[in-house]
Amino acid sequence: MSFVFYAIAGLTLAGALAAVLLKNTVHCALALTVAFAGLALLFLELDAQFAGFAQILVYIGAVAVLVVFAILLTRGSETPKDGVYSRNWLAGLVIAAGVFAVLGWAVLGSARSLPHETAAPTVTVLQIGNALMSRYVLPLEIVALLLTAALIGAVIVAMHEKEGQK
Amino acid sequence: MIETADQIFVLLKHWLVGFLPAGWQPVAGVALSVVAIIAFFPALFALTVWIERKGLGRMQNRIGPNRVGPLGILQPVADAIKSLTKEDIVPLSADAAVHFLAPLLLVAAVFMGFAVLPMGRNMTLVNMDAGLLFYFAMGASTELAVFMAGWSSRNKYSLLGAMRAVAQMISYEVPLLMSSVAVVMMTGSLSLTKIVAAQNHYTWGLPHWYIFTPWGFAGFVMYAIATTAETNRSPFDLPEGESELVAGYHTEYSGFKFALFFLGEYLAMFSISGLGATLFLGGWSAPFSFLGWVPSWIWFFSKLMLSIFVFIWMRGTLPRLRQDQLMNFAWKFVLPLTLLNLLVAALWRFLGEGWERWVVCLAILLLAYAFMGREGMRRGHLGPRRYRYAE
Amino acid sequence: MTPLAGYLLVAALLFSIGLAGALTRRNAILVLIGIELMLNAANLNLIAFWRYGPHPEALTGMMFAIFSIAVAAAEAAVGLGLVIQIHRHAHTTDLDQMNRMKG
Amino acid sequence: MQETISFTPQLTASPITGILWLIPAVPMVASGVIALLKQPKRRTASTLAIGSLSFSLLLSLIAFGHVVRDWTLGIATRETVNFTWIQVGAANVDLGWVLDPLSAVMMVMVALVGLLIFIYSIEYMKHDENFTRFFCFMSLFAGAMLGVAIANSMLLLFMCWELVGLTSYLLIGFWYQKPAAAAAAKKAFLTTRIGDVFFLLGIVWLFAQTGTLLFYNGGAGSLEAGALGGLLAQPAAWGLTAAGAIGLLIFAGAAGKSGQLPLHVWLPDAMEGPTPVSALIHAATMVAAGVYLIARVYPLMQAGALAGGTTTALTVVTWVGASTAVFAALIAVAQNDIKRILAYSTISQLGYMMAGLGMGGVAVGMFHLITHAFFKALLFLGAGSVIHGCHEEQDIRRMGGLKADMPLTFATYGIGMLALCGFPLLFSGFWSKDGILEAAMHWSVAKTPLYMLVFGALLTAFYMTRQVGYVFFGFNRGSKDAHESPEVMTVPLVVLAFFAMALGLIGTPAWPWFRGFLDGRAVGFDWHGFIEPGLLALMATSTVVVFVGIGLAWRLYGDQSPKPTEPDVLEAAAPLPWGWLRDRLYVDELYGVTVIVFYGWWARVAEWLDRRVWGGAVSGVAWAFGLWAQLNRFLDNNWVDGGFDKSCDELASGGGLLARVQTGRVQTYLRLLALAVVALALMLIWSSRA
């Protein structure tokens, strides 16, 4: 387990924690971007170049900006009056801890049987292109359709109603 | 001789790296290239600032800076010293951390872009398989930096400027990508070196640059428009919009941070035009076969400076677009045309050699341009201004 | 501990952090952020298993991750659109107040 | 004796037989139509009734003519039309009608007498508001009677027989407001019903034995040789053959209907009905139906009789007939009501007919039946006009001296009386009664019936003269003076009077046309008929008897016309026997004491049985169910309710619990979701641990 992995993992987890714990919503959004960047680096660490760059392009490029826009549009940037966490936050925390315990236990339990070091697969964009066009052409079309629908849906949902129609 | 001239920098690097122990050499090589880029491009920035101010002056029939040094050549040095020595004022209500981080993130992101540009024959810092994708990924993070700048200074004008900038950059990022996708489709690879290699052969002395193909030329035009918008330059420099928004998102910045923003902007210009050169103008390939002897990096930088000149030229001549016109133009003209361009590129590829593909592609593009331009834009006639206030 | 286990652990931790965020935060957008984190944790898992899995050349893991990234983006867009619309009507993004769908 | 030429049954049914069924059908349809008419529609009702009956009369005359023509050609016609009414499994119920001399004669007599009485009753019933209903019942009765006459199937005969019984009930009880009339109707109906039960038994037995209901069916009928042979072979109880036993059962039915000794009680009470009813039903036709029935099934009764001999069935008939004749005649002497006297006289004359059938065969009985029908109808109608004249007065002691006031009635009534008594030579009664006496004389079994019949004849002459004396001679003891009836009533009287005299001619020994006609023998006119041995002596004795009766009665009752209150002459002489006779020999009281008491006792037993045994069982079952219901309620209350309802409540509250989970807050759902994931993961890990 190389030092780089620990650094990047630390960065991502720190970003994630900040995103969850910070008071100011915009700071949370920025922390989220850090977490996304960390993840992209993890992807690159796992030799998934295309996924990494896609992650950066999609998440940092689009989703982060979207989140920030949403925060500004819903006046989230002012710190909320009655506390940041919901009333019974402890229950949430406990449940999250429980989930992590189970997942952790599952991972550690099966750690021995997981495959060890394997050769880094060299994946060229050409291969990905071919795979997309041959084996995954149906998912590709469906995702295309989904994205268009989401595009139109999001626009309609967030569209400003016409005057007079409150 | 020509070879050494062409590969002068590569040889230099290898020569310098040779002094280090073997283990360190690859890392040192990379570090050396990075240092070279970081050194050269800010210098070029200084030069461009001077060119721009002298050029604009000449265009507006005035002399431009000539006090500092002969012909004002030292004017950028003076500016640099001025920005360094100016007091760095941070507004009290500003969000200190984000305020400080914004310019850094911007400059870092733009510098990252240079890593994949093939400045000369085998003079690419990192010859990445998905080079173009990496470049656009880095490009995408600049918007966030702009937003951070605008929001953190807690100033209505800066926030408004930031919002306009982000909206504009997002709107034009899509056409930027789409036009470059056409090139990728034709070369079949995302790596920039392969793209240059694909353009680097000649028939009857004329190079196979993509710009000389119908879809290439349309792609280049769309690309040029998108780049000017991406870098908030000239007709699209609404965010700065000196007349209304003071200095846009970097109003609250002063001193060195302001200089950084300025540097970031020019670096973005260099890298985006460098990419344009690689994609459409054949990167470091010579314009004519018989000029092959000239070192490759000279061609790259000359094409780069050519587009910079065009930027400056546009800044001096074209009026500023209004925000809704700008958005309309992006989503209703540029994007459809780039998509059409993709179709035309596909047609071009499968129609095979021969004059028919020229006629067909040209016909489609011209027709679309005429029809789209005439019909699309008319709808946007200048109706009465409708003000809508934020809720 | 094998690298894969490491990545899985990081993903699990990331997932639970996202879940904690989703469960405890009051602001709707932050819940969405928590969900984004959970989705990314899942992507990390996918890529990790692809990288250390038996047939990396089959590209299944990565493809899955790429598609999931696309879908997550769509989901984020629609989610935030909804939140904005709720804000416009209910003038709040506070989840505790949005209980009109009470059983 | 007479030789009988072989019957050559007429196989193919002539056209007249084809439409023979119209004769009973038309009056019945007429009665149906009249029934639908409204009460004030009197004229339509009467015209309809009379029209339908005259049509039947016309048809029956044609049929009669047809039979006579065949008879003259030497063919004894017996044309039958049979059809299957119901197909019940293998056995099929057949109906049919027959045209033979017996039915022809009967048809004509019933139709003619009926018509005359209808015409008479127009005037008689004029003041009665139920005029239409009267004519409806009368035409129904006529139709039914004609049905009995032509029936060839035992079942059809029985159905018409019951219809006749019904109409007699309706007509006797016509003035149902009078309790006496209603009681009399009920009594008539019940007594005849007893007879009919035996009759039905006979029919069923006959059908069981012979397998067919039809009398004549081209050889397969029950009265034809084949069936009779089978019946003879069957021994029945008390030494009777099956044929004899069935015959006696049928005779019981006939006795009920014709008012023979044990079942005669209803006939005198039946006088409560209007006089035309009495005339038509209780003089001429219905009561004669019993005699006609025996005549119809005569082959059955006579089956097994040796040449000239007789069967036990016929001897029983004879004895019953003779005893009834004397018994009724005795009672008639002591009666004071004009119609009751005639009623008892009818019973005794019926006794004569039965005796005639028993000893002399079909022709003898039937001849007396025909002649009696006419003069008894005449007497009843005469009595009717007398009552009408005396303003509904029926007690002869309050009449008297009507000779002058109602000369025509007196004359016709006189002719009727003389015919009934059997005044020699001129009147039909003499010839028919003489025939019976002659048969009695030749009767091989015993001579007593002859003496009884002669004594009966004496009594008949006596009470008839007494009656005439009281009614027509002396001075009028009634409150108001009488008046002669209008022509509508007197014309039928005259016609009947003519027949009362004329009919005798067709049965004289010199020219026994009637006997020949019935037996299907050729008949010539020769005076030698009279020189039969003992015949002249017989005629002489009966003449003497008649004159003695009349003279004795005239001397006692002649013109004295005693005051109503003072006792009768004979009563004064012999008060005790006179009392018995006046009280009808206490037969009613006898029944009252025996049958009624028995029924009363049996009713009480049945009532006890019903309440105690059956009622107990039912209440027991009810009690058991009550118990069962309580058990159910107990179970339902705490076992079902407790269990089921409680569990439903639990479910509902459980539902409530779950509903609380739906807080509407998104995060709660997320938390539940996460918990579920944890649980699932745990389960998966735990299960895969092995």
Contacts of residue B268, defined as CB under 8 A and 6 or more positions apart, other chains included, come to B110, B113, B142, B230, B231
Residue type, B378: R
Facing residues of B369 across strands? none
- Greater confidence (D17 vs B172) lies with B172
Query: What is the rounded CA–CA span in Å between residue B228 and residue B216?
Result: 18
Contacts of D676 in chain A (CB under 8 A): none
Q: Phi and psi dihedrals of D678, rounded to 5?
A: -60, -50
Asked whether the beta carbons of D164 and D141 are under 8 A apart, the reply is yes
A93 — contact with chain D (CB < 8 Å)?
no
**Six token digits for residue B286:** 């010579």
Higher pLDDT, A154 or D641: A154
Whole-number Å distance between alpha carbons of B169 and B230:
5
* D675 to chain A, closest Cα gap in Å: 6
Q: How far apart are CA D500 and CA D498, in angstroms?
A: 5
State the Cα–Cα distance between residues D448 and D408, nearest whole angstrom. 40
Look at the block and give the residue holding tokens 């339902």: D636
CA B47 to chain centre: 17
D and A in touch (3+ CB pairs within 8 angstroms): yes
Amino acid at B198: A
Task: Give residue for tokens 């040209």.
Answer: B362
Q: Is A30 at the interface with chain C, CB within 8 A?
A: no
**CA-to-CA distance for D280 and D260, rounded, in angstroms?**
18
Structure tokens at D479: 């409150």
D350-366: string of b/e by CB count within 10 Å (b at 16+)?
bbbbbbbbbbbbbbbbb
Residue D534's region, left for phi above 0, alpha for psi from -120 to 50, else beta, is left
Under an 8 A CB cutoff, do C96 and A36 touch? no
In this complex, do B141 and A30 lie within 8 Å of one another by their Cβ atoms?
A: no
Scanning C51-90 for CB atoms below 8 A from A yields 51-54, 56-57, 59, 62-63, 65-67, 69-78, 80-85, 87
Which residue carries 């002395």 as its tokens? B205
A and B touch with 3+ CB pairs <8 Å, answer yes
Estimate to the nearest angstrom the gap between the alpha carbon of B356 and the chain centroid. Answer: 34
C-alpha triplet A84, A89, A91: angle, nearest 5°: 170
Domain boundaries along the sequence of chain A: 1-79, 122-166
Q: How far is A114 from chain B (nearest CA, A)?
A: 30
Q: What is the ipTM of this complex?
A: 0.65
How large is the average pLDDT for residues B173-185? 92
Task: List subunits contacting chain B, requiring 3 or more Cβ pairs under 8 Å.
Answer: A
Cβ-Cβ pairs closer than 8 A, A with B, add up to: 63
| Contact (CB<8Å) A157/C1 | no
Q: State residue B40's pLDDT score.
A: 92
Structure confidence at residue B34 (pLDDT): 92
Closest residue in C to D670 (Cα) is C23
Q: Does D683 touch chain A (CB under 8 A)?
A: no
Q: Which residues of D touch A106 (CB under 8 A)?
A: 681, 685
pLDDT at B256 over 80: yes
What is the domain extent for residue C76?
3-97
* Stretch among A134-143, B351-360, D129-138 having the lowest mean pLDDT: B351-360
The rounded distance, in Å, linking the Cα atoms of D260 and D240 is 22
Structure tokens at D167: 């109409």
Q: What pLDDT sits at residue D677?
A: 85
Number of Cβ within 10 Å of residue B318's Cβ equals: 13
Q: Which two tokens stand for residue A93?
A: 């925390």
> Considering the entire predicted model, what is its pTM?
0.54
Q: At D101, list the tokens.
A: 């001399």
Which value, to the nearest 10 degrees, does the dihedral of the CA atoms of residues B265, B266, B270, B276 take? 50
Kindly state whether C90 is in contact with chain D, defined as any CB-CB distance less than 8 angstroms: no
Residue, of C61 and B383, whose pLDDT is higher: C61
For C17-33, write each residue's pLDDT tens digit.
Answer: 999 999 888 888 989 99
- Residue B327's φ and ψ, nearest 5 degrees, are -65, -45
Non-local (6+) Cβ contacts of C80 within 8 A are A66, A67, A69, A70, A154, A158, C29, C32
Would residue C103 count as lying in a domain? no
Contacts of D207 (CB under 8 A, 6+ apart): D154, D213, D222
Q: Which residue on chain D is closest to C100 by alpha carbon? A: D664
3-state secondary structure of D79: strand
Q: Residue D3: its pLDDT value, please?
A: 38
How many Å apart are CA C101 and CA B361, to the nearest integer?
Answer: 57
The span from the CA of D39 to the CA of D47, in Å, is 14
* Domain assignment present for B385: no
Residues 6+ positions from D632 with CB-CB distance below 8 Å: none
Name the packing angle between helices D535-557 and D448-472 (round to 10°): 30
* pLDDT average, residue stretch A101-120: 80
Write out the two tokens for B219.
């792609």
Question: Hey, what long-range contacts does A25-28 have (CB within 8 A, 24 or more apart)?
Answer: A25/A71, A25/A76, A25/A77, A25/C27, A25/C29, A25/C30, A26/A68, A26/A71, A26/A72, A26/A76, A26/A77, A26/B95, A26/B98, A26/B151, A27/B95, A27/B98, A28/C30, A28/C33
CA neighbor of D461 nearest in space, from D500, D425, D429: D429
Q: How many domains does chain C have?
A: 1
Q: Do A65 and B130 touch (CB under 8 A)?
A: no
Q: CATH: 1.20.1740.10, 3.30.70.380, 1.20.120.1200, 3.40.190.10. Which one for A1-79? A: 1.20.120.1200
Q: Which amino acid is at D469?
A: G
pLDDT at A166 over 90: no
Q: Is B254 left (phi over 0), alpha (psi -120 to 50) or beta?
A: beta
Q: What is the pLDDT, as a whole number, of residue D298?
A: 86
* pLDDT value at residue A90: 85
- The answer to whether residue B261 sits within a structural domain is yes
The predicted pLDDT at position A12 comes to: 94
Q: Are D56 and D144 in contact (CB under 8 A)?
A: no
- For residues B100 and D331, give the distance between their C-alpha atoms in angstroms, rounded to a whole number: 155
Give the whole-angstrom CA distance, residue B291 versus residue B287. 7
Is residue B318 pLDDT above 50, yes or no? yes
By residue range, what is the domain housing residue B176? 90-379
CB B214 within 8 A of CB B344: yes
Beta carbons of D262 and D351 less than 8 angstroms apart: no
d(CA D170, CA D272): 12
Q: How far apart are CA D659 and CA D653, in angstroms?
A: 10
pLDDT for C10 equals: 93
Whether residue B193 lies inside any domain: the answer is yes
Chain A neighbors of B128, CB-CB under 8 A? 49
CB atoms B136 and A57 under 8 Å: yes
Q: Which residue of A141, A157, A166 to mutate against C (max C Cβ within 10 Å)?
A: A157
CA distance D196 to D166: 12
Q: Is A124 an 8 Å CB contact of chain B? A: yes
Residue numbers of chain D with a pLDDT score lower than 50: 1-7, 9
By the CB < 8 Å criterion, does D676 face chain A?
no
Q: Of the candidates D664, D671, D674, which has its C-beta nearest C99's C-beta?
A: D664
The four Cα atoms D165, D167, D168, D172 give a dihedral, to 10 degrees, of 150
Residue D286: Cβ within 10 Å count: 28
Positive or negative torsion for Cα B150, B155, B157, B160: positive
Residues of chain B in contact with residue A27, where contact means CB-CB under 8 angstroms, are 95, 98
Region for residue D38 given its phi and psi (left: phi exceeds 0; alpha: psi -120 to 50; beta: otherwise): beta
Taking alpha carbons only, the member of C37, C8, C42 closest to residue C20 is C37
Between CA A19 and CA D361 the distance in angstroms is 138
Residues A16-42: tens digit of each pLDDT: 999 998 888 888 999 999 999 999 999
Give burial (CB, 10 Å; 0-12/13-18/19+) of A132: middle
What does the block give as tokens for D497?
């009077």
Is residue C7 in some structural domain?
A: yes
D153 bridge partner residues: D214
DSSP-assigned letters across all residues of D374-408: HHHHHHHHHHHHHHHHTTS--BGGG---HHHH-HH
Tell me, yes or no, if A19 comes closer than 8 A to chain C by beta carbon: yes
Distance CA D344, CA D460 (A): 10
Nearest to B363 by CA among B371, B354, B374, B375: B371
Nearest alpha carbon to residue D96 among D112, D78, D76, D108: D78
CATH code assigned at C41: 1.10.287.3510
Residues of chain B whose beta carbon is less than 8 angstroms from a beta carbon of chain A are 95, 98, 128-130, 133-134, 136-138, 140-141, 143-144, 147-148, 151, 163, 166, 170, 173, 188-191
Chain B partners within 8 Å of A77 (Cβ): 151
Band of pLDDT at residue A79, cut at 50, 70 and 90:
low
D99 pairs with which residues across the strands?
D79
CA-nearest residue to D674 within chain C is C19
What does the pLDDT profile of chain C (103 residues) look like in tens digits?
778 888 999 999 999 999 999 988 888 898 999 999 999 999 999 999 888 888 777 888 888 999 999 999 999 999 998 888 888 888 777 777 777 777 6
Pairing of strands B202-203, B206-207: antiparallel
Q: Establish if A136 touches chain B: CB-CB under 8 angstroms.
A: no
The average confidence (pLDDT) of chain A is: 85
Distances (CA, A) of C44 to A102, B224, D187: 18, 37, 117
In a domain, B10, yes or no: no
- What is the chain D residue with the closest CA to A89? D667
Q: What's the total number of domains in chain B?
A: 1
In a domain, B59, yes or no: no
CB B236 within 8 Å of CB B225: no
Angle (CA) C52 C53 C57, round 5°: 100
Give me the pLDDT at residue D558, please. Answer: 74
